Structures are given as structure tokens and as C-alpha cells.
Structure 1
Amino acid sequence: MPKITNPVLPGFNPDPSIIRVKDDYYIATSTFEWFPGVQIHHSRDLVHWELLTHPLSKQSQIDMIGNPDSGGVWAPCLSYDNGTFYLIYTDVKSHSGGFKDTHNYLVTASDIMGPWSEPIYLNSSGFDPSLFHDDDGRKWLVNMVWDHRKGKNSFGGILLQQYSVEESRLIGPIQNIFKGTALGLTEAPHLYKKDGYYYLMTAEGGTRLKHAVTMARSRSIDGPYEVDPTNPILTSYEKPELTLQKAGHGSLVETQTGEWYLAHLCGRPLKPSENCNLGRETALQKCYWTEDGWLRIVGGEAQVEVEAPDLPTHAFPPVAAKDDFNEENLSIHFNSLRFPLEEDWVTLKERPGYLRLFGRESLNSVHHQSLIARRQQAFKATAETVVEFKPENFQQMAGLVYYYNTKNYYYLHISHDEEIGKCLGILSSNRGLYDEPVDERISIEGVERYYLKAVLSYSDLQFYYSHDGEEWTAIGPVLDASTISDENAEINVNGYFLGQGFTGAYIGMCVQDLSGQKKHADFDYFKYEEMK
């Protein structure tokens, strides 16, 4: 019998929303400040998955300029009804301290590949919105409500309101239908209907080690909701032996053959730091319904090997390790920060066969960075590129970056020094503390092309450089890759999160020109390989 191997979507792919349309399965996941918005993966057997599309591909659909680290697209909900795909998402403008500015939108398409509509504004009362299509034709939005008041439960419950397709807006009364369980931090609501019950699935415990999936049910959509007596139905908390930690934030799908699966968020901590530099990932667990109508996980916990459904095998071609930049468009696996690809800062046309990036703002910027990168999706991996760059001053830099957010990164770069000319060095930032972890910059004056490489092995990162791409020399010390993680980005002061991280490690190419002259660099290829 074939097996599902978890995580099915490795690397930064959190908050899964899974659906089936005929024989096709789709999972939408959060992308936060990375552009384009929302990842949608596709499968036909729940075993093999491919990255299919990003529906929020225009700035008019998601304008994230100035959004904070780990702001932007939170917890998309993908659904389908009567020939139309519906995608609900939050654009988070602030999330640290007492307040959260969370604007919720809806886009639609008749085809999963688009085109997707311009957004319809829904509300701003909280995050994790989800759309439920009832069998009487009505549609309902649920989202958690954020309560900023001192002494109140910040996660103030789950709001319910009807959505009118005809009017393209929410209508009718707003009701708080569920205040959560003793686990607290009630979020990520999804409604399902089965055998006359409305089932409300939520995430509780917070999206860290205490994360969990909980369930409640009611005969009426607006409650009251009866809590599952065995809640949580899934958690990894206080089960350190499990590979998949942080299990929570789930959504359900039923196969063509009547089997049930739960897609859920998980993380795989590094040892001994317990940091997850691969970010929060997506896994699948097989489920069943008890005679008294409650959902249960086969095996009772988050497992790496799961029995696959009885469906024909449908594999996809492997993703090419090397991108020579010979196509008209960048690979779907590359992302930019907060801003779409535009010819004034990134182009494949000006020098065919090369990716040209024009230098803009620093790695600290939440506005206009020239950075193209892809997710790290395995603990052991290498990334390699070659760059042609002619810096004229120290404010011009280009190279290979290992990036979490504006406060946490390592950067192997080419720049210019008044004394030694063109040179190679490393910049780092840990929780916003700037450093240069090399004793002296290395002169590469007179060398037109320079090869750069990063070798990742769990918590270790070693940078290398080469004149020819064959013989490599290590530069700098072995760096701590575990700092490029949610956990290291978190800053908690008296219960208020002044720094939060919800993404994962990226590796890629970037250029800065802090002088404003927009000096460009050309990258001939980018190679990403995973190792056993």
C-alpha cells in the first residue's frame, strides 16, 4: 500500500487549506510578506504534490509595501462551489504589540490557474477568515476576532456573518459563535457539515509547541457548539519523541472513495536549539469518524508515514536543480519581497541568459528590496550562483543571501573598499544586531565573474567562493543556521510580542545600492540541490 511521507509540503508552507474538486486536490498556504501571494499546490493522489500557481500575482490584489516582517498574507482559505473557486485571505498591516491591523479580502476564479478577480473587501475584525458554502445555497464567513483591551482574551472568539454573492459583501448580523476551549488562542476556524451537524474546526494553543487542532459541533450554524470531549484531536505538545512538532491549524478533505484526511501545520525542530529554520510545514493525517460522530486521527498523533488513499498514483516531474535564466519568466519557486517583479528592478530581457537585478534599498528595508530567493526545503542543501558586478563604492553590494527577515540574515557579497578595491565579505544580522563575521574582506580586484556557494547542514551554514566554479574556498566561520527561524525572530516582552516570525529560511540573490545609483549585477545561474 502506498504511503504519504510527511511533511508533504516541506519548508515554509504553513496554514494549509485543502480542497478536492473532482479528482484534483489543492492546498493553499500562507506566504506572508513574500510575493506573489498564496502558494497553491496540486495533487491527484495526496502522495505527490507540485507547486501549481500563485493567485495573488498583482499589486492591486495584495499591496504589501511597508508591511512588517511576517505581515502580509495570513492563513488563506481556498474553497469551491458551483464552478467557482473562492480564495479568502488576510493582509496584515501590523501585528506586534497590543493591536493587529488585519484586512480580509475575497478573490474568485473559474479556473484554479486564473485569472483571479480583483479583491472584494470583507472586514478587518480579526484574522484567519474562512468561507463556508452551506447546502441551502447560503455562504458564511467565519474569522477570529482580536480584542486589544487589557484584561480581555485577545483571541476573543469566532465571528460568523453571511456573505452575499449578489451584493459582493457581508450582510446581516455578526455573531460570536464560539469562545474557544481552555487551551486558548482560538483561531483558524473552518466549518464543515456532515450528518446534520455543523462542525467547527479551530486551532488553539498558539502556533508553537502547544499548537493543537480542536473540534466542536452544533445542529445550528450559529450554535451553541458542543466541544469534542477528547479535544484536542491532534497535538504534538509534550510528545518530544515525535518528528512532527507544532501540529495544529488543520483543514479537512474527503476523497472520491469516502476516505478522510486532515491537512495540518507542523514544524521539525533542529537540535539542540529547538529552532525550525525550515519554518512551519504542511503534513497530512488519515482520519475517521466515530459512531457518535466525532473526528479521530488514525494512530492518534502526527505521523511521518501515513496510509495513502486508494487512488491511482500520479507523480510529477522533479524540479530542475539549476536555473540558467534562459526562459521568459522566472521559475515559480522564486519569490520577491513585498513587491511584484517589474522591469525597472529585475529583468531577464536586458541581457538574455542572465538575471539582472538593479540595486535598491538595504536588507533592512520593508519597502523596495532587490531580492529574488527560494525556500530552503531540506535540512541539507547547497545553493550556488555566479555573479558579474562592478561596484564603485562600499554602498553597492551583490551576492548570495540566507534570509529570514529584515533583522535575521547572512549575506555573502561582493562590494568595493577604498583600500583593496573590489572585495568579498560577509554581513550578518541577528535580531537586528549587525555584524561582519570575517576578520578581513578578501580582495577580488580584476576578477569579472565570481562564484558563490552556501552549504547548509542542519544548524550549520558555510559560505564558499570560487574563481572558476570548480575549486572552492571556505570564507568565514561556520555560521549558525538555526537563527534563521521563527523562534529566533520572536521577541516577547511582558506577554507582548514586539517581534514575531511566521515564515522560514530563504536563499537567493540580491543587490543593494545605498547611494541611489541603481548599480546592477548579473547572475548567470542559480542552483539549489538537496542532499540526503
Structure 2
Amino acid sequence: MKNKETYTNPIIPGFYPDPSICRVGEDYYLVNSSFEYFPAIPVWHSKDLVNWTQICNAIDREEQNLKLHDVAPSGGVQACTIRHHNGIFYITSTCVGKEWPRPDYNFLITATNPAGPWSEVKYLKDAPGIDSSLFFDDDGRAYFLANREKEDAVFIGDTEIWIQEFDLDTLDLKGPRYGLWDGCGGIHPEGPHIYKRNGYYYLLIAEGGTGYDHAVTLAKSNHVLGPYESAIRNPILTHRHLGFEFPIQSTGHADLVETQNGDWYMVCLATRPKAIENENKAEFANLGRETFLIPVEWQDDDSPIVSPMTGKIEEVYPFPKLERVEALETTQNMLLNTIRQEEQAFYCKKDAGYRLSMQEAKLFEDLPVSFLGRRQTEWQFSADTEFTFNLNEGESAGIALFYSYMANISFSIYNEKGKQKLILEKAYKGAVSIISEIFVSGSDFKLRVDGNNFLYKFYISIDEKDYEEVASVEDGWFLSSGAAGGHTGTYVGMYVSSNGKTSKNFVDFKRFNYCGH
């Protein structure tokens, strides 16, 4: 039973990194990075900062022109910022492609209703770097921020934050560009946000890389264009000094919000990794980077105190001084994503389930693949699906766990010369191995996967019979950035493939269920 006096972190579990937040009256809105997945940019709403309902994906139509077709794993949409000004919501972000840097990759979308529809993507000309943001000053001027490589950079990640005035009529940059700050010595100064309080401008950034050395730092100035001086309490948030055994790691990339009551809170990303035997770093976080909420106090005008009394993110905090409003259940359609496919032509809603059309690619190939899944949001979960076997020679259908084409597990029925095989296959860094392979008979198949930390168990039920465990994967830690690289999290979903052959066939999945424990 929930304790009405407290809340528990993370407030949005699973692969929901780079949170950005804004308040409009008594309503709070939050967005996350979505990287190579489509629909892109989940948008959330809350009344109490703790209970969040996803209200849309800001980019959910092919005609919005996001251009995901040429992105690599952990490329795509990174570090969104949401802001509201004069009745209009703005989201700025970066679409990182295989060609990098490339022209016009920072972009902006707008909406009058945060639940959508959002506008087509507007790519900004001559806006270098990543992690873009907007700031609206009291005098009516708007400014665009991002990071860029320093002219005298001496190492990878030697960047600085820059600012330029932004024309709200044309949605273009204008005027001269200024360098603001290069942080406190950590690599990759990025994720800039500016706030104005008591006449001072505060520049909040992330630095130190998005791993164990991640940190949140702050600088302040009397003028929006600087110069900015580093706060004496920097870094104002980091866990890099707590050791690898601390349960919350990689804290950074934050945004601040003031409640209607004058209280301040920070949202940031962090991970909840688990250790494996013979490893001295607990770097394996299959859930990816998640969204956390931390109370903040201003005791003077230098810099805020993040997580007063402890200085680190706690799992449990007192509930904000806001009326608790429970979240509504997010529809499954809103939670499901494809991998780099904005066309969505390979699938459609079918009764209570989904119809997936065959594509030639296998899950471990860097090609468009017929996978439709959702984030794994708990360390303990069950996911199941049901379909009727109707596969041609060489085709397969089933359930899969996906981190990237370099790290995935498929559990599928395969038609081999008219006979039905149930194959559990693991792919990791180019090596593909069959864990289990058995012949099965029947027509109506139910497949299930249960996750328990790094242990994934796989089950089958045929023609209304009870589930039977077939096999397991005990080293599921490889479905994480700590093993496979990148910045995302594990997905679980439905998967079909014609395995290299052209096919017009499809599979009707009667249902797909996910339940966290």
C-alpha cells in the first residue's frame, strides 16, 4: 500500500532518460529522450510531480519528418527540453545520425495543446552541438542554447555551452552567438538550462559524461549573456563519490521547476544497476537511465541545495505539498515503439492485438526489422503474447528482448520445411548462438518471458495447455549499456521475420501483455 506521506524514486521507471519539466499553472509537463525509437518523445502530465500519465508521443506521424532512417543504436532523438511561453509549448531536441556532425540536426516542434498534435519538425540552420534548450526572458526576448566543441578543444568532450537570440516569429536563430561556460572540468558539458531568480540568471548543465562520473553543475550571472561564475557548491549533484555499490548511480542531466507554492524540485536521470560476479563495477542496468525527483532548497542566491540534509538522491522522500492525483493508465498503443521506422507500414492494430508484416531482417541485423515492443520498466516482470501459426517456409514469429541489434534475445516459432521449431536465440556483439531448439506441434501458441534481475525464463503454452518452461538465459546483463554500450534500455515485444526472403505474409498477435512485479 502506498504511503500518502511519501513518494518513491524513480518516478518514471525504465528507459526514460534526460527528463525536462515545465509548469503551467497547476499542471506539470515532462518529456524524455527516445533515441532511435518511434513514436518519439514521450510527453507526460502530472498534478503532483509524482504520479505521471503519458498523454502522447510528441512525434508520432511520418509527415513530421524526424528522419530516423539513418541513425545508429543510441542515435536519434536526444536530450529534449520542454518549455511554455504565451500559450505555446516548445520542445527542442537533437536528432543524431550516423553522419555526425551533420547540418541541421537541432530541431524544434510546437503545440498549443501538450497532448498534441505537435507541429512538423523544424530543423534549425547553423545550430551546432547537442542538447538544445530555450529560455524566455522577462523582456520578451527568447534565447536558444546548446553545447559545441570549443575552438581550442584538446580532447573529445572538450565542449562549452553557447547561446544565441531566438526569433519567436520565424523560429530561427538571430544575432551574434556567445560562449557561456565550459563547466567545472568534467568532460562533455551539455544539457544546458537557464532560469531567472531574484534578478540572477542561473545556468544548469550536465558534465562528466553520462556514466559513473555524471554530475550536475551550476553557474550564475547578472546578465543572460554572461559572464557566468561557477557556484561554490559545485557539483550540486553527483554520486561519483559514493562508490560502485551505491544503489543509485550515474546521476545527472537535470532540470528544475518551481511549484505554485514556491517550492523547488529537480528531475534528473540516474540508473539502478546491479552487480554481477567477478565484476568490480555494478554497471549493468537493463532498465536504462530512469527519471528521478529530488527536493531542492534555496538557502541563498549562490546555488540550490539538492536533497537537503543528505546531498544524494534518496529512494523515499516526503510527498510534495501538492494534492495527490493518481496517474491514469497509459494505453498500450502509446507505449509501443518501432525501431527507426517512422512509416509504421509493417504493423497495424488488429482487434485486441496487432498484425505484424514480414520484413527480411533478423533481430541481430542493422536493418529495418519487424519488432513492436515496449520498455522493460521493472527488474521483475512477465510479458506474454499469443498468435496462431501461419508461417511460410523459413519464417518465424514470437517474442523478443531487444537492447540493440548487437544485444538481443528472440524466442520464436520457426517453420523449417513444414515442421515447427521453437528456437531461443541470443545475439551479442556479432556472435549468434542457439540456446534451445525443440520441435513443437499445434496451431495456437502462447509464449511468455519472465524476468528476474539478469535471469530471463521462457515458456510456451500450446492449444490452451498450461505454460511449460522451455529454457532460460542467466547472463541477461548483456542487455545493458554496461555490456553492449550505448545509452538506451531493454525492450520486450512482438517479433516476426522472413529471415532473408521476400514475403507478403503477416502474423496476427491476438494480444501482448506486460506486467511488472
In the alignment, what sits opposite 1:474? Answer: 469
In the alignment, what sits opposite 1:434? Answer: 432
SS in 2 for 1:144: strand
CA shift, 1:159, in A, is 1.1
1:460 equivalent to 2:463? Answer no
Change beyond 3 A, Cα 1:401–1:234:
same
Tell me, in whole angstroms, the C-alpha distance in 2 between the residues paired with 1:423 and 1:235.
50
In the alignment, what sits opposite 1:37? Answer: 40
Residue identity opposite 1:288 in structure 2:
E
Change beyond 3 A, Cα 1:397–1:102:
farther
Contact 2:89 2:113 in 1 (8 A): yes
Q: Map of 1:516-531 to 2, 5 A cutoff?
A: 516-531=502-517
CA shift, 1:391, in A, is 2.4
Tell me, in whole angstroms, the C-alpha distance in 2 between the residues paired with 1:469 and 1:267.
39
CA shift, 1:43, in A, is 0.8
Pick the aligned partner of 2:21 from 18, 21, 38.
18
Tell me, in whole angstroms, the C-alpha distance in 2 between the residues paired with 1:152 and 1:24.
42
CA shift, 1:404, in A, is 0.4
Contact 2:206 2:216 in 1 (8 A): yes
SS in 1 for 2:240: coil
SS in 2 for 1:279: coil
Q: Map of 1:387-398 to 2, 5 A cutoff?
A: 387-394=387-394, 396-398=395-397
CA shift, 1:67, in A, is 1.2
1:504 equivalent to 2:506? Answer no
SS in 2 for 1:42: strand
Tell me, in whole angstroms, the C-alpha distance in 2 between the residues paired with 1:479 and 1:100.
41
CA shift, 1:36, in A, is 0.7
In the alignment, what sits opposite 1:345? Answer: 346
Tell me, in whole angstroms, the C-alpha distance in 2 between the residues paired with 1:134 and 1:116.
24
Q: Deviations over 1:393-429 (max 9, x none)?
A: 23x11110011011100000111223x7121101211
In the alignment, what sits opposite 2:170? Answer: 167
Contact 1:186 1:204 in 2 (8 A): yes
CA shift, 1:179, in A, is 1.7
SS in 1 for 2:147: strand
Contact 2:68 2:342 in 1 (8 A): no
1:421 equivalent to 2:419? Answer yes
Change beyond 3 A, Cα 1:95–1:232:
farther
Residue identity opposite 1:103 in structure 2:
Y
In the alignment, what sits opposite 2:279? Answer: none
Pick the aligned partner of 1:139 from 101, 121, 142.
142
In the alignment, what sits opposite 2:94? Answer: 90
Tell me, in whole angstroms, the C-alpha distance in 1 between the residues paired with 2:114 and 2:53.
14
List runs of 5+ in structure 2 lacking aligned partners.
Answer: 277-281
Q: Map of 1:326-337 to 2, 5 A cutoff?
A: 331-337=333-339
1:486 equivalent to 2:453? Answer no
SS in 2 for 1:94: coil
List runs of 5+ in structure 1 lacking aligned partners.
Answer: 321-329, 491-500
Change beyond 3 A, Cα 1:236–1:190:
same
Q: Deviations over 1:451-507 (max 9, x none)?
A: 1110100111111111145522222343322111111122xxxxxxxxxx1110100
Tell me, in whole angstroms, the C-alpha distance in 2 between the residues paired with 1:261 and 1:481.
35
1:217 equivalent to 2:217? Answer no
1:234 equivalent to 2:230? Answer no
Q: Deviations over 1:289-335 (max 9, x none)?
A: 12243111123111111222211110124468xxxxxxxxx621111
Tell me, in whole angstroms, the C-alpha distance in 2 between the residues paired with 1:376 and 1:20.
28
Contact 1:37 1:54 in 2 (8 A): yes
Tell me, in whole angstroms, the C-alpha distance in 1 between the residues paired with 2:448 and 2:496.
16
SS in 1 for 2:510: strand
SS in 2 for 1:125: coil
SS in 2 for 1:91: strand
Residue identity opposite 1:346 in structure 2:
Y
Residue identity opposite 1:114 in structure 2:
G
SS in 2 for 1:482: helix
Tell me, in whole angstroms, the C-alpha distance in 2 between the residues paired with 1:147 and 1:398.
49
Residue identity opposite 1:89 in structure 2:
S
Contact 2:287 2:489 in 1 (8 A): yes
Tell me, in whole angstroms, the C-alpha distance in 2 between the residues paired with 1:474 and 1:340.
36
1:405 equivalent to 2:382? Answer no
Q: Map of 1:2-81 to 2, 5 A cutoff?
A: 2-61=5-64, 62-81=66-85
**RMSD (Å), alpha carbons:** 2.0
Tell me, in whole angstroms, the C-alpha distance in 1 between the residues paired with 2:217 and 2:428.
35
SS in 2 for 1:488: helix
Residue identity opposite 1:286 in structure 2:
P
Q: Which moved more, 1:133-142 or 1:233-242?
A: 233-242
Identity, % of aligned positions: 33
In the alignment, what sits opposite 1:323? Answer: none
CA shift, 1:149, in A, is 8.5
Tell me, in whole angstroms, the C-alpha distance in 1 between the residues paired with 2:104 and 2:12.
26
1:119 equivalent to 2:121? Answer yes
Residue identity opposite 1:508 in structure 2:
G
CA shift, 1:59, in A, is 2.3
Tell me, in whole angstroms, the C-alpha distance in 2 between the residues paired with 1:433 and 1:506.
20
Tell me, in whole angstroms, the C-alpha distance in 2 between the residues paired with 1:462 and 1:106.
42
SS in 2 for 1:331: helix
1:289 equivalent to 2:285? Answer no
Tell me, in whole angstroms, the C-alpha distance in 2 between the residues paired with 1:375 and 1:279.
9
CA shift, 1:387, in A, is 1.8
Contact 1:78 1:85 in 2 (8 A): yes
Residue identity opposite 1:383 in structure 2:
A
Tell me, in whole angstroms, the C-alpha distance in 2 between the residues paired with 1:487 and 1:148.
32
Residue identity opposite 2:402 in structure 1:
Y
Q: Deviations over 1:430-463 (max 9, x none)?
A: 122211112xx21124x11111110100111111
Contact 2:131 2:192 in 1 (8 A): yes
Q: Map of 1:98-117 to 2, 5 A cutoff?
A: 103-117=105-119
1:313 equivalent to 2:317? Answer no
Q: Deviations over 1:248-272 (max 9, x none)?
A: 1000000000000000001000122
Tell me, in whole angstroms, the C-alpha distance in 2 between the residues paired with 1:20 and 1:470.
51
Q: Deviations over 1:109-146 (max 9, x none)?
A: 11111221122222441100001111111110110113
Residue identity opposite 2:300 in structure 1:
E
Contact 2:443 2:462 in 1 (8 A): no
SS in 2 for 1:347: strand
SS in 2 for 1:442: strand
Pick the aligned partner of 2:205 from 202, 206, 220.
202
Tell me, in whole angstroms, the C-alpha distance in 2 between the residues paired with 1:103 and 1:366.
22
In the alignment, what sits opposite 1:497? Answer: none
